[in-house]
Structures are given as C-alpha cells and as structure tokens.
Amino acid sequence: MAHLRDAAECETFVEEVEPEELADHCDIREVVEIPTDPREGVSFEHIRKAIHTVPKIGACLIVTNYSNPLGCSLAEERKKELVTLLAKHRIPLIEDDIYGDLARPDDKRPVTAKAFDAKGLVLLCSSISKTLAPGMRVGWVSPGKFRDAILQLKTNQTFACPAITRMAIAEFLKNGSYDAHLRKIRAVYWELLCRFSGAVARYFPAGTRISRPQGSFVLWIETSADTTILAARALNEHRISIAPGCIFSAKGNNYRNCLRISCAHPWSAKIDRAIQTLGRLAKELNGD
Ligand SMILES: Cc1ncc(COP(=O)(O)O)c(C=O)c1O
C-alpha cells in the first residue's frame, strides 16, 4: 500500500465568462480540468497552459484546503502565487473553502487564498455542511468585487435562506460552541481516517493505493477494478454507498479505477464489514 503519487483530480476552469459577467455564470460553455498532485495541490504548470491556450476564461474554481477527493492543500506561498497569477490575467478565483476548518488535530487552520486578494477577484465560499449539518443548508460567500452580481443571482435563484436556520447557526457561532465542536470533530475525523485507511489496506487487492489526506474526512483509493461497476454492485447488493472515481471528472469518464470513501461515520463492526465487502468486490471484479 503506497501513498498515491501521480493521480490527478480536477480543479476546474470555467470558460467563456468575463469577470463583469459573473451574473451570467449559468452559461458555462466548457470546463477545463486541471491535474492535481495529491501532495502539492493543483498544477500551476497546467493553469498557465490553460491561460495561454483557452481563449476566454471566466473563472477558476479551486478547493484550496483539503480538496475533495484528494485531501491536499495549496501551501500558503502557492496560494499567494495563484492569486497573483490569476489577477494578472483578470481571472476571478472561486475559492471553495468548505473543508478549511478540518485540519488534523495538531495542525493550524490553513489560510485562504482570499487573504492575498488585493483586487477583489477572489470569491471565498464556504458552508457548515462539512462541520455541523449539511441539512441546514447554510453557506456564505465573501464575493469581493462581485457582490452585486452575487446578490442578484441569489435573489433570482432562491431569494433567501430560511431566517430561522441562519439565526440558529449565528447563535451557535457567537456563543463559542463552534470552536469547541471543531476541536472535537477534527480529532474524531483524524482517528476515523486512520481506521478506514487501515481497513482498506487490509481488505483491498494488493497494489491498491490510498491517499494520505492533510485534513478533512475523505479517502481517495486507486485500485485496478472498474469502480463504476463496483459502486453499483456495492449499492444494489449490499446497500453500501461509495463515490466512483468517474464523478470527479467533468467529462464523467476518467478515474474509473478510483473511488472515494467518506470516513465521517462512527467506527463499528458494520463499517469494518462494509470495507471488507468492498475489498472482496474489488478482488472479484479483478478476477482475483
Ligand atoms: C468541495 C465541495 N464544495 C461544496 C460542497 C457542497 O456543500 P453544501 O452542502 O454546503 O452545498 C461539497 C459537498 O460535498 C464539496 O465537497
């Protein structure tokens, strides 16, 4: 079992939208996928190449901290470099920081690229979905110079989120319980990541590779089975839900030998058996 070295996931460029036209963002013509290193994060070489070859880039969308599914982050100096590079070409950066609060227990919370945004071109987005409760549907954006466009989009699409849930979350954040909660779940998620990784190492076919996330709670697994079939069989025959690799590709047909597992479930004998079942299915599909 080795650390996943060369796999690429897709951070994306959204083409064909001028910064001023962010309100028309629904009109995305093409998504350019940018390879991502599981340790270093998104490839700047490929970003530069896209800037020079794609005629009209509307925005760049990146999960800068503990990206889904690889769990890697851009180092602080690389975030700065990214903001400078994109600003030079007037390309807005949509920074999805939804996992940023989920550092390992002994690590500091990483900074955001937004911290280096002098031109208002970074739209920093997050929510409480990964830290508190996905069902609350409370998120936010710090939109830089796109405030009016974002307000208009929000008004057009849903007008507003229910006030009662926003007020409940605001109260929770204000009275300090959020920090205590984060301290607790960061330790819990880290322990779960270790347990799930151990089980994958035990049960999956020889040669399987697992990511070593810097934070958050998902594992990216590279194996030799077709994971689209694996995911369908796991769900239909065993009620086990995993994310097949292909859903992490804009074109929908890459990473068919990879899968993502969420480790945000309390450890139990049932979970251990579920990973054992996945490993057995992977072996069966390989013809082992
Ligand atoms: C990177 C990333 N951004 C955004 C979301 C969606 O978050 P929300 O539930 O707040 O809409 C997810 C959920 O899986 C995610 O992984």
3-state helix, strand, coil in the chain (%, to 5): 45, 20, 40
166 and 211, same domain (yes or no)? no
**Residue 29's pLDDT band (boundaries 50, 70, 90)?**
confident
140 and 34, same domain (yes or no)? yes
* Domain, as residue range, for 221: 179-286
Kindly report the pTM of this predicted structure.
0.90
Query: Atom 5 of ligand 1 has which residue's CA nearest to it?
Result: 98
Total domains, the chain: 2
97 and 214, same domain (yes or no)? no
Q: CA 80, CA 85: separation in Å to the nearest integer?
A: 9
> Ligand 1 centroid vs 97 CA: distance in angstroms?
9
29 and 163, same domain (yes or no)? yes
Query: What was the pLDDT predicted at 16?
Result: 42
**Residue 2's pLDDT band (boundaries 50, 70, 90)?**
very low
Q: CA 34, CA 46: separation in Å to the nearest integer?
A: 6
169 and 183, same domain (yes or no)? no
Q: Given 144, 174, 204, which residue is the final one in a domain?
A: 174
Query: Atom 9 of ligand 1 has which residue's CA nearest to it?
Result: 129
pLDDT digits (tens, 9 = 90+) for 80-116: 999 999 999 999 999 999 999 999 999 999 999 999 9
Query: What was the pLDDT predicted at 23?
Result: 40
> Ligand 1 centroid vs 19 CA: distance in angstroms?
23
Find residue 183's DSSP bridge partners.
Answer: none
> Ligand 1 centroid vs 102 CA: distance in angstroms?
14
pLDDT digits (tens, 9 = 90+) for 167-207: 999 999 999 889 999 999 999 999 999 999 999 999 999 99
121 and 209, same domain (yes or no)? no
> Ligand 1 centroid vs 212 CA: distance in angstroms?
20
Rounded-to-10 torsion of CA 185, 188, 190, 194: -160
